[in-house]
Structure 1
Amino acid sequence: MNKKPNIIFIHNDHQAYYRWGWDQGTKPKRPNFDKLAQEGAEFNNVYCATPLCGPTRRSVLTGLFPHTHGQTHNYTDPEYNHEVYLNTLAEAGYKNYYYGKWHAGPGAANDHQCEGFSHTDYGNPYITDAYEDYVKRYNLPKAVHRIEKVFDIPEFETQGFFLKLKKGADYQCESSWCGEHAIGVTTTPKETHESFFLANLACEQLEKLAKEKDGKPFSLRVDFWGPHQPHFPTQEFLDMYDDIDVPEYGSFRSNLEGKPEFYHRERSLPFGKDNKIIIPSPVEWEEWKEIVKHCYAHITMVDAAGGMIIDKLKELGLDENTLIIWTTDHGDALASHGGHFDKGSYLSEEVVRIPLAMSWKGRIPAGQVKDEYVSTVDFPVTILDAAGTKFTKNPVHGESLLPLVTGETNEWREDIMSETHGHGYGEEVISRMIVHGEYKYIYTKDHVNELYNLKDDPFELNNLIDNKEYDEILKDMQARLVKWQTKTNDPEKIL
């Protein structure tokens, strides 16, 4: 197959994922993602470059870890001084289309040779001209959300949007940021929700491309704002979890013993007066279950929207030579480590592990389940490899996944790195992580370091860092991390 493939990249935001293997009960329903995985390959050990939106999104664009591309927090916005895969695709003859959330530093997707719809900064789709035009064309009302619970966060009490979030109230997000800490239900048709708004825009573009038939390859990327909170699924998706129990999460009652102190300062439900997590959680699991169900229903809703895009691709016959990738930017700490939500300055499995499925008819054999270590920085390298090109203006940290899934090679890395520079609120936290086999080591500057046996302790409750029996394992993990740091020119020295 010599013709360059089309490329579909579906990118969710902030998705609860790794908990699925542990709760032994309800798991989010992802029929469309699962179908894609069955048609190609699913990866079990994928780690984001960093568990924070802006920095890891720039890693997806550049194939670089944050310590190199320079965006270490959501709102540190250095100019783009490194090659972006979208521009490289355009130079290779691709037509690029981008729909949805940007949140990857200055500008937006149209600054990188893309057509479509994207928004500077975090963005709120519900106040854009594109959304206004969409609801008019489809004769839809604007999205309305009925609030069922508001998370008690003192720091937000004076912000206008927070004052509007009252239990039982109908709410429309009209501010510049729409990441409210609340759950509820979208009472208008599902097509009014941002996920279906974006899916419909993408489907319209696919229809135009099918009519053009100019033989030029295209890249279409869709970045949903969900399933990041606020969790406002429609009743249709909530009903899928109505009669299902959600067992208590394994680290829900953790007292954070052996953890770095900043675990106490990250987002919890609710905050204490000193802005620290309350241990034990004053919110009982029965109430937490409803929050988790809303999160799961939101995941299923976004899955349905993503499935629309893939179905439209097949309906139009555009799937014959198309690489499809579906993933998310980072995970979600929901209900973990004493009652956290969102994410924080830590590198727990809940926030660093992410889903990934790929298919390419005729190139990627179906039904594969891969356990090799994969990173966010591999995604753009893989896309460019499929397009027959590569990054040329600067070295990158990622590797193409294509030789791994096409069977061209069995050789692959034995460990994987991730990093964080903190959540960006308050003090900076500098951490580096390495995972190899059963073990995970986390270096944090000026704080307690961490060592876990993920096989025996998947919830990371027992920090082995001071256990002398693990000294040799610790030395090996540190040496592995130093190799990654050397390879990626990481200026932070752990030893």
Structure 2
Amino acid sequence: MKNQEQNILLILTDQQRVDTLKAYGGKVCQTPNLDQLSEDSIVFTNAYTSCPICTPARSSLQTGYYPFNVGMQSNSYGSHCLIRELPDHPDLLSRQLQKQNYSVGYTGKWHLGQGNESEETKNYRAHAEHAIQFPEYQYDIRSLPSDVGYEADDFPGHGVGGYGYKQFKDYLEENGLTFETKNTLSGNFEAHMAAEVISPIESTVEYYLTERAIHYIDRFRKRSKPFFFALNYWGPHEPYMAPTKHLDRYRDMTLEPWPNFYDDGNKKPSIHKAKSANSKEWDAFAPYVKHYYGFMSSIDEQIGRLLCYLKEHDLYENTTIIFSADHGESLGIHGGLSDKAFFMYEETCRIPLLVKPAGVSGHREESRFVGSCDLYATILELAGAAREQAEKRDGRSFAPMLREEPLASWPDCVVTECSGLESVMYTQRMIRYETMKYVFNCGDLDELYDLSTDPYEMNNLIDHLDYADKLNFLRAKLADWMVEHKDGALKIFKRMRDIA
């Protein structure tokens, strides 16, 4: 099948742990539709986000660059995000796909543009009445999906689950629906909450977004050219909204604590405490985990509905389906950590990545390291762009892996960056190589883990004499990577860690 003849569907969740899927060893969360998709897919077992924060990770998908090369290194309302609106540019994913004669569509979470109408913008103005305004405010600049070439639903800002947008409220009213919840949980995580959805499944945001995806794909399939469509769920990121039928799957379960739940923080960076929950007891976390699982099961049900639509309209076979997440989730790991950022544990940095190629069916695993930036180059090559053109970024195309074609070379490591969250600026770089992980924590204690003997990252080996050579090797390897990718933190990293 020629590249230009295949459709491409990208399904992206927000803040999803890999262990919610059986393909990654998950045993509790039930996702039968994604389990079935994995049987037709290549399962990438070592996929990592470019940054465990929403806006930076999503900027990598649209540009192929690490966030430090885009300027969006924190969420777009954060005080250290250099730009708040993703600039429209001929090299954006959407614009490049248009050059390949693709219809391009988008719905769901964007988080790469605020627009003056977003709640974050309004809140900023309310608290910064006497501050110098960002140029985007002054000149009414915005960057939403339709502004950069997508046929799209525009949802500015973070969205907080999508429940407050006019489009969703109009959908409910037009269909005689209301969105209702009960038994709200809150208090253990800062600004986090969970609830049971007691209104019909059709009233959920995940159902609505799937309807919108079908709407656009139904339009695209009638054209004489292929399509790319990106369906972006807000879940299972909090607020964890679990419909009754899905919450019932877990309600009476006794959940065992995470294997790394009981961590006293010995030899761990103090910055990790920035995301500590209020309670350190597992019983305080378990109800949130159940709602998280119920939310993920509800999303899985809607993914199944979309896959059924593709099969009913003879689209499944000639569509490459990519399922992934922007980053992971903590939910109490390592002594009660919540949310993400400030720590580079596997639960937040490793992401699910399933790829069902067009015209090919069959399950296998791929263990080579891949990252968020590689999705940009891969999608463009699948769409017919020349590989050398698609790879003029930080990422590389793994399309040959899908076809089991030989690659002359492939990076033997992967890096995740972080620059802090909210109003706290904090520089981190994590490198994975073979079974080792090294984390540079600027101004704090570095971390070194051997995942072959310590898969849950309990023992920081940073000062272990037996690992001194490996530590020096990984620091030098990270420095080389930073040179190659023009990472501006290189000079300070080398000074602080005495690297020649």
TM-score (ref. length: structure 1): 0.86
Give the distance between the partners of 2:159 and 2:176, measured in 1 at CA.
Answer: 24
Paired position in structure 1 for 2:165: 128
Cα deviation digits, residues 137-167 of structure 1 (max 9, x gap): 43322x12214321246xx7xxxxxxxxxxx
Report 1:200-279 matches (<5 A). Answer: 200-210=211-221, 212=222, 214-266=223-275, 268-270=276-278
Give the distance between the partners of 2:154 and 2:88, measured in 1 at CA.
Answer: 21
The answer to whether residue 182 in structure 2 is matched with residue 185 in structure 1 is no
Aligned partner of 1:33: which letter? L
Aligned partner of 1:127: which letter? G
The answer to whether residue 311 in structure 2 is matched with residue 314 in structure 1 is yes
The answer to whether residue 292 in structure 2 is matched with residue 291 in structure 1 is no
Aligned partner of 1:367: which letter? H
Alignment partner of 2:422: what SS? coil
**Contact (CA 8 Å) 2:321, 2:357: kept in 1 or not?**
yes
Aligned partner of 1:80: which letter? P
Q: CA deviation at 1:448?
A: 0.8
Match for 1:108 among 119, 144, 147?
Answer: 144
Cα deviation digits, residues 65-113 of structure 1 (max 9, x gap): 1111111110225252762111111122111110101002452111111
**Contact (CA 8 Å) 1:327, 1:356: kept in 2 or not?**
yes
Cα deviation digits, residues 299-318 of structure 1 (max 9, x gap): 11111112221211111112
Cα deviation digits, residues 263-313 of structure 1 (max 9, x gap): 1122x332xxxxxxx6xx1xx323322221111111111111122212111
Report 1:122-161 matches (<5 A). Answer: 122-123=158-159, 125-141=162-178, 143-152=179-188
Q: CA deviation at 1:130?
A: 2.0
Aligned partner of 1:49: which letter? S
Aligned partner of 2:312: which letter? E
Alignment partner of 1:323: what SS? strand
Where does the alignment leave 5 or more consecutive residues of structure 2 unmatched? 114-141, 495-500
Alignment partner of 1:240: what SS? coil
Give the distance between the partners of 1:219 and 1:21, measured in 2 at CA.
Answer: 27
The answer to whether residue 396 in structure 2 is matched with residue 389 in structure 1 is no
CA gap of 1:474–1:52, structure 2 versus 1, over 3 A, is: same
The answer to whether residue 342 in structure 2 is matched with residue 345 in structure 1 is yes
Report 1:13-92 matches (<5 A). Answer: 13-18=14-19, 26-75=27-76, 76=81, 78=83, 79-80=86-87, 83-92=91-100
Alignment partner of 2:400: what SS? helix
Report 1:379-418 matches (<5 A). Answer: 379-389=375-385, 392=389, 395-409=392-406, 411-418=409-416
Q: CA deviation at 1:479?
A: 2.2
**Contact (CA 8 Å) 1:23, 1:250: kept in 2 or not?**
no
Alignment partner of 1:357: what SS? strand
Report 1:337-376 matches (<5 A). Answer: 337-362=334-359, 364-376=360-372
Give the distance between the partners of 1:24 and 1:40, measured in 2 at CA.
Answer: 16
Count of aligned pairs between the two proteins = 453
**Contact (CA 8 Å) 1:373, 1:416: kept in 2 or not?**
yes
Where does the alignment leave 5 or more consecutive residues of structure 1 unmatched? 157-179, 271-277
Aligned partner of 1:263: which letter? H
Alignment partner of 1:430: what SS? strand
CA gap of 1:393–1:454, structure 2 versus 1, over 3 A, is: closer
Give the distance between the partners of 1:468 and 1:264, measured in 2 at CA.
Answer: 27
Alignment partner of 1:232: what SS? strand
Q: CA deviation at 1:26?
A: 4.2
CA gap of 1:136–1:19, structure 2 versus 1, over 3 A, is: closer
Alignment partner of 1:338: what SS? helix
Alignment partner of 1:225: what SS? strand
Q: CA deviation at 1:389?
A: 1.2
**Contact (CA 8 Å) 2:16, 2:327: kept in 1 or not?**
yes
**Contact (CA 8 Å) 2:23, 2:35: kept in 1 or not?**
no
**Contact (CA 8 Å) 2:19, 2:25: kept in 1 or not?**
no
Aligned partner of 1:88: which letter? Q
Give the distance between the partners of 1:21 and 1:91, measured in 2 at CA.
Answer: 38
Aligned partner of 2:159: which letter? G
Deviates more, 1:132-141 or 1:36-45: 132-141
Give the distance between the partners of 1:38 and 1:19, measured in 2 at CA.
Answer: 16
Give the distance between the partners of 2:452 and 2:342, measured in 1 at CA.
Answer: 23
**Contact (CA 8 Å) 1:16, 1:332: kept in 2 or not?**
yes
Give the distance between the partners of 1:445 and 1:432, measured in 2 at CA.
Answer: 9
Cα deviation digits, residues 23-49 of structure 1 (max 9, x gap): 988421121222222112111111000
Deviates more, 1:143-152 or 1:439-448: 143-152
Give the distance between the partners of 2:82 and 2:390, measured in 1 at CA.
Answer: 21
Q: CA deviation at 1:258?
A: 0.8
Aligned partner of 1:131: which letter? F
Paired position in structure 1 for 2:121: none
Q: CA deviation at 1:4?
A: 2.6
Alignment partner of 2:420: what SS? coil
Give the distance between the partners of 2:219 and 2:97, measured in 1 at CA.
Answer: 20
Give the distance between the partners of 1:424 and 1:339, measured in 2 at CA.
Answer: 20
